[in-house]
Structure 1
């Protein structure tokens, strides 16, 4: 049974909650292990098509690495798939939404940036403040922020460690939507419902084509090779590939099987 991570399922939606509100949902290695296991289970469960990651309470998504735990001299370890088993998890083709309900600092922001969408409450605050404590955001935060909002804008945050509020994060482009305080999870569920109206195999093929396409040497290569990626092949060979056009022709909603 998990102590630091709560997992709930609503139909094909998995909701994963970091449950350490007493420390602003900061993550120590045991909590990271539990989060990694929860994401492993989501990835492996064919009945689960979309996930939301959030934090318990209304003050924090995650304050990142639990520095007090680290300073206590307790045993530390790193996960193969990055901080929280997320920031170096490059094989998750299912959509993952971050519902940021307060602060997302340091590795907390790195986890949010590793998600496909970020829905933020108005009281959300974002920062990569590691240089202020002699560290650096090397769990993907530096690289992802630069790719997602451009080098100059990213450097403006990274080199100062300054806090960015939800509205500025939206204008910078790394947040998708800002909602009133307390409504981040509900808004993330609405966005998940929109995704769930689509074929899950089409969604995975689309995500995989975009993410792998970034690593192709040219746009032409990305377009040409995208049809041969594993998720694309799975989509072409699925029952849903027939069901979608059939439902359209019959003027009804498709009944997705995910296979």
Structure 2
């Protein structure tokens, strides 16, 4: 791994820059594959690091994904074989231009707390700083064997302000998370799997294929049921109260029971055939 992969993010400022969307899209590849949207950060020579325009471009991508009823799941990955995303492009920061992100956060994603569609991270290399934080914000993650993870911001006087501190504590508990955050050390793919930070580890070069298989599995289930499951978890994350979250779950369940997809699911089960979901 190069030194660039170990560099922390420069501070992220929030703001609006709609004029940057078209410019940033030159480095973001978006492809529809059935019910799945595949999003690729296409800056392999820069270890898929992000500049201001990329945060705003990705914000537009994720907003479009959430609004499209025909898309039920997404995959986020990086181009090339070395990196998923190593955070902010420090060359831009070194020139005196601090990166700016929309209200939706790093990669237009880390602050999207109300998402109801699953996003899978296909980690094809180094996920450092904001790249690691973006992966942590995804719902599921597949990592290749040589992938590495870390929050090295503390080594240069910053900290993981795009959710890295909070999400690691949420995933691992306070003491295990703080050991990673405060030392800034690198985590291997096997350790990430043992800690429950990724769902599985696959051989190098097989990450996207494995993520596609997982996406197809999700897309075979009711999109309305998945959205309700995500909404229930969002409420639990928001309140931290099991009692309040379960009360909210009952409210979420009522419209599902009257939906066309529920009727289709029952009919398909009785007829022993695959359901034909309408997302209605």
Is 1:70–2:66 an aligned residue pair? no
Report the number of matched residues.
Answer: 257
TM-score (normalizing by structure 1) = 0.95
Gaps of 5+ in 1: none
Higher relative contact order structure (alpha carbons within 8 Å, sequence separation ≥ 6): 2
TM-score (normalizing by structure 2) = 0.89
Residue 235 of structure 1 deviates from its aligned partner by: 2.7
Match of 2:229 in 1: 206
Pick aligned residue for 1:105 from 121, 125, 128:
128
Match of 2:160 in 1: 137
Match of 1:38 in 2: 61
What aligned pairs does 1:174-253 form with structure 2 within 5 A after superposition? Answer: 174-216=197-239, 218-229=241-252, 232-253=253-274
Gaps of 5+ in 2: 1-21
Is 1:158–2:181 an aligned residue pair? yes
Query: Does the C-alpha gap of structure 1 residues 219 and 158 become closer, same or farther in structure 2, counting only changes over 3 Å?
Result: same
Q: Which has the higher helix share?
A: 2
**SS of structure 2 residue aligned to 1:214:** helix
CA distance in structure 1 between the aligned counterparts of 2:52 and 2:238, rounded to whole angstroms: 31
Residue 217 of structure 1 deviates from its aligned partner by: 5.3
Match of 1:255 in 2: 276
CA distance in structure 2 between the aligned counterparts of 1:218 and 1:94, rounded to whole angstroms: 23
Query: Does the C-alpha gap of structure 1 residues 233 and 95 become closer, same or farther in structure 2, counting only changes over 3 Å?
Result: farther
Query: Does the C-alpha gap of structure 1 residues 14 and 141 become closer, same or farther in structure 2, counting only changes over 3 Å?
Result: same
Query: Does the C-alpha gap of structure 1 residues 4 and 207 become closer, same or farther in structure 2, counting only changes over 3 Å?
Result: same
* Aligned residues: CA RMSD: 1.3
CA distance in structure 1 between the aligned counterparts of 2:237 and 2:77, rounded to whole angstroms: 27
